[in-house]
Structure 1
């Protein structure tokens, strides 16, 4: 990716690909799998049956107990029924999907029990598809495509309490598909009997295929894999922008502190919002259609009900208590001491307002983003998140890495530094379902290792006593080998204990999001090179492909 750059906005000169892989057609259920309505067997038409199977597959999931999910599903399912089916099936609670559900569970069990040969056959078919459809040619490079398969139809889930959950995600057909490739390439043919919606030759975009999904009306794309040149370059630019912010962040901070005293309410609100975005790494929070999406907010769309002001709390002055649902309906809950001026301004912004009123009523994201652009070209709230995440990782690694530690202990320090960033960005997860069980397994491994160590120490002690008496070479050698055994087991025990600490500390924190999206990979690569840590201990294979540019580029003295 060190080749010549194209003029501004041009992404490629030649683009050729095979088009998307569509979801396999629906296979009707075997005759012996029945659907019951009001206690009686009822044979469904193919279209209605297919949609019923989506619900049956989710029967054990709590989604199917939610009122809004059931209502949306039933409404969309009825659209797929014949008129006879519509007149018979009038209530979802009289529908019995258990027989279907059991059939799918049995199928899933059978897949787990497959023979080695059957699994190999499926693997070969997947590899064949990848070979044929998983690559494109962009300029002179064969590049891997990220998602060449079109999502199959199913029921929309959404995150949090999404008002559209349960709606039918319909099957995407060739007639929905826009193909993007270069004029001089071999245009992919549509499946027999079908035609594409459109073929475009737009070299100002990097997507190969697009379509509009029916639930939110959003446009979906088939893009290149993160390891491709074009994505690597974009990634690199993102971190370079964040590094530019480093040079002017002090000036920006001084400016917004001055603005807290402004005569204009608009300017004060903007300055407090910017302080939150900088200090707490909040997202900007775009305006949204009401009732179209879950009720989630960001900084600009905070309402009075989302914050509480405490002049004093737990021995700290001027504390703001945040409680709202952020992106993907992840709760943001935080108690933060702020500067007195910020606190006084918030009191002012909340005066004479109802709980459901906007906190920053003179501000929206476009006003904020325009202001950020004026401060620095390319500056957005996300650049602040990236800058603060990366700088935090770099500082934490400097503080936490003990030069005398062994590799597992250094990696524990790395994960702790990464965790500080994940907490800053509020990247949470529910503790894994298997958490307790895997911790118990790990604990029993630790207990067994401790016993093994006690045995090894006893053996060493008796070997030493033996050697004292015998004073010959053989008994000396025995002492040496027993010593080594003790050291080896001590190291293994330490490794297991580090693993247990790490797992416990990370059970509710998701480290992956920040690692992939907010942390300049060169910081991690430089840290690995400096301390002789294998990069695969920090990045898995996919991540190493995505960050190949950083692995090539960063030396051990890299400073963000």
Structure 2
């Protein structure tokens, strides 16, 4: 189509040859409109053109549109031909007309400076199956509801007045029109890949034994081999440069990279490192290197620092090339086929060798984590699936166990625990496990009363074992303590749970801070995080604790009669475990707090503050603490400066508005700045309240996501405000199935 800024030639031609138009219009239309299978690009649109469109200014009507209108009114013009069926066209597939494609062609011709005869239309896509419709122009007396496809025809309507900007507008519309289908297609492809397994089977229908029918993957990706240091970078012993064997040099680099870390100042870390390092040395090296204090790793440390700076200074091209390599690796190793569906793998890269750090004051910090070889790895897959090991190696074992969910397994050498490669949290196996966990906890709502009644009665049992079990269950239920288990304290950090408490971990107070029967807890919990709490308890619990501690030393077990090999609550109900009670208490606390704190009339920011406060109560209950971030004070200072600046702006606008009360633009600005100020204040409060609380742990592991999803839907809160993209993938099942009336 010719540009709308150049219609005068066409108008003059029509005015000068009015009598010849009827006979020539069909020929001209065939030159300007591509016809395929007997259907012109008009798609019968001219049949619905209202006669009122003729009264518009001729200069504003594109000439090809006037030709179509003239053809419609002409007595010699014929009806638009119907699409030819495959049978009528000799068996060839009929090409349906795509309105978006036609619209794109019209805009392309409109933006093109070339004449209509020079334009060569592109062939229409055979894959398109859009049915032709007849949109109604703006001038039509009969108004119809716009569909998505109708909106694509707006560019066919004549633009008015601002002719200079019309060309630019059409270019923009063409860009958005061409990009939109691509985005929609990409989104559709992503949605097609989503396996809605929750619609196939509920937790009640699953027997919990068979995890998969078919499983296929590529195995793990191993850590790259060690690259020796440059010849000019030397390790020094007693001030003299010394060449190390490759194995000893590699371990030396592990320590050198940590010179600036607090770990290298800890005696236990240095002792464990030096002991394991000497095992990798040659006999000559062992006879020479006998004292870690005489070892000088500074040159190696400086080398790696310079390499880090070089890495930061990489060009965009280098970063892009590295990303492409990683993407290629992820495409090859990062996915598995589970029951015929493509599922993402969580951790397909095996951890490289290094020095063990551990949490808190772990007794094995500094020990050498050896390189994992294919000969250490057990592969789990379907029968008939071949997963070749790296060249020159072989797998330790290949299993076909569909009762487990792991893909690969090996035993690490420091703690002698099993390590696994599992599917991503967004996978069916992980999601189904979460769903079953929360459904099990939800069932407790109907039987938690009898369970509590039972352990209250057991406080007075004649059997000491039952009394201890009752008090332990009371602690787990009321204070959300982890159960804990037996372990070798020489091989692991001295962390405890409820059942492994020692007498030194509690103090009893008949009265404290105007409260009677107070128990003071002080011990290291999971990940060596200190649990300190003072709580009032039942009188019967207090008396029993005094009995349990009689005649015991501080290092003796508080619950010495409990059998760790048996489930604590087996005699109460077969399916209940400690985690179910902890999960139940966390989720029911969130539900209750949200009901109490949420005001329907609040702004989104105020509602989110209420949500975080509810989440914080759960985190406190579960002892999900964290150290105050080092950047907290600076971040709070920056936020306070923003608040001060916004307050100043708010006062200025408020004063100006008093002078110009009828200024609508100023009123809108006043409202906007006021909302921004409230948002900043809310952020400041929220950040300060949560500086020592880790909200994410409970949100991901102990809170039923359906509670949060229902809350978001009920109060029109975007789910993105609660869950990140990764978290939304993990809880896709909850987001899809939950309605706003869900109650835990």
Note if contact 1:148-1:222 (Cα within 8 Å) is conserved in structure 2.
yes
Note if contact 1:245-1:376 (Cα within 8 Å) is conserved in structure 2.
no
Counterpart of 1:220 (choices 389, 411, 419) is 419
What are the residue-to-residue correspondences of 1:483-522 with 2, within 5 Å?
A: 483-522=667-706
The alpha-carbon distance between structure 1 residues 364 and 433, as it changes in their structure 2 partners (threshold 3 A), is farther
For 2:221 and 2:344, the matched residues in 1 are separated by: 15
What are the residue-to-residue correspondences of 1:428-507 with 2, within 5 Å?
A: 428-464=625-661, 476=662, 479-507=663-691
Normalising by the residue count of structure 1, what TM-score does the alignment of the two structures yield? 0.95
Offset at 1:507? 0.7
What are the residue-to-residue correspondences of 1:194-273 with 2, within 5 Å?
A: 194-273=393-472
Offset at 1:436? 1.3
CA RMSD of aligned residues (A): 1.2
The aligned residue for residue 470 of structure 1 is none
Offset at 1:179? 0.8
The aligned residue for residue 261 of structure 2 is 61
What are the residue-to-residue correspondences of 1:375-386 with 2, within 5 Å?
A: 375-386=572-583
The alpha-carbon distance between structure 1 residues 545 and 396, as it changes in their structure 2 partners (threshold 3 A), is same
For 2:364 and 2:481, the matched residues in 1 are separated by: 26
Offset at 1:366? 3.0
Q: Count how many residue pairs are aligned between Structure 1 and Structure 2.
A: 544
Which whole-Å deviations, capped at 9, do the CAs of 1:493-541 have from their partners, x for residues lacking one?
A: 1111111111111111101110000000000000000000000000000
For 2:346 and 2:222, the matched residues in 1 are separated by: 15
Offset at 1:378? 2.1
Offset at 1:455? 2.2
For 1:313 and 1:115, the matched residues in 2 are separated by: 64
For 1:485 and 1:115, the matched residues in 2 are separated by: 42
The aligned residue for residue 329 of structure 1 is 528
Secondary structure of 1:243's counterpart equals helix
Indicate whether 1:303 and 2:502 are aligned: yes
Offset at 1:435? 1.2
The aligned residue for residue 283 of structure 1 is 482
Indicate whether 1:29 and 2:224 are aligned: no
Counterpart of 2:324 (choices 102, 117, 124) is 124
Secondary structure of 2:650's counterpart equals helix
Which whole-Å deviations, capped at 9, do the CAs of 1:6-42 have from their partners, x for residues lacking one?
A: 7651111211101111111111111222211111111
For 1:349 and 1:155, the matched residues in 2 are separated by: 42
Which whole-Å deviations, capped at 9, do the CAs of 1:411-453 have from their partners, x for residues lacking one?
A: 0100000000000000011111211111111111111111221
- Structure 1 alignment gaps of length 5 or more: 465-475
Note if contact 1:285-1:365 (Cα within 8 Å) is conserved in structure 2.
no
Offset at 1:244? 1.2
For 2:208 and 2:607, the matched residues in 1 are separated by: 43
Counterpart of 2:722 (choices 538, 544, 549) is 538
The alpha-carbon distance between structure 1 residues 357 and 8, as it changes in their structure 2 partners (threshold 3 A), is closer
For 1:379 and 1:33, the matched residues in 2 are separated by: 60
Note if contact 1:306-1:323 (Cα within 8 Å) is conserved in structure 2.
yes
Indicate whether 1:50 and 2:247 are aligned: no
The aligned residue for residue 406 of structure 1 is 603
For 2:207 and 2:551, the matched residues in 1 are separated by: 53
For 2:670 and 2:574, the matched residues in 1 are separated by: 60
Which whole-Å deviations, capped at 9, do the CAs of 1:446-481 have from their partners, x for residues lacking one?
A: 1111122122223323323xxxxxxxxxxx4xx111
Higher relative contact order (CA 8 A, sep 6+): 1
Indicate whether 1:366 and 2:366 are aligned: no
For 1:206 and 1:240, the matched residues in 2 are separated by: 20
The alpha-carbon distance between structure 1 residues 8 and 269, as it changes in their structure 2 partners (threshold 3 A), is closer
The alpha-carbon distance between structure 1 residues 113 and 448, as it changes in their structure 2 partners (threshold 3 A), is farther
For 2:680 and 2:206, the matched residues in 1 are separated by: 51
Counterpart of 1:133 (choices 333, 347, 351) is 333
Which whole-Å deviations, capped at 9, do the CAs of 1:368-419 have from their partners, x for residues lacking one?
A: x1x4133223211111110000000000000111111100110010000000
Note if contact 1:412-1:502 (Cα within 8 Å) is conserved in structure 2.
yes
Note if contact 1:284-1:365 (Cα within 8 Å) is conserved in structure 2.
no
What are the residue-to-residue correspondences of 1:132-151 with 2, within 5 Å?
A: 132-151=332-351
Note if contact 1:242-1:384 (Cα within 8 Å) is conserved in structure 2.
yes
Q: Which moved more, 1:515-524 or 1:199-208?
A: 199-208
The alpha-carbon distance between structure 1 residues 428 and 8, as it changes in their structure 2 partners (threshold 3 A), is closer
Normalising by the residue count of structure 2, what TM-score does the alignment of the two structures yield? 0.72
Indicate whether 1:553 and 2:737 are aligned: yes
For 2:462 and 2:454, the matched residues in 1 are separated by: 14
For 2:208 and 2:471, the matched residues in 1 are separated by: 35
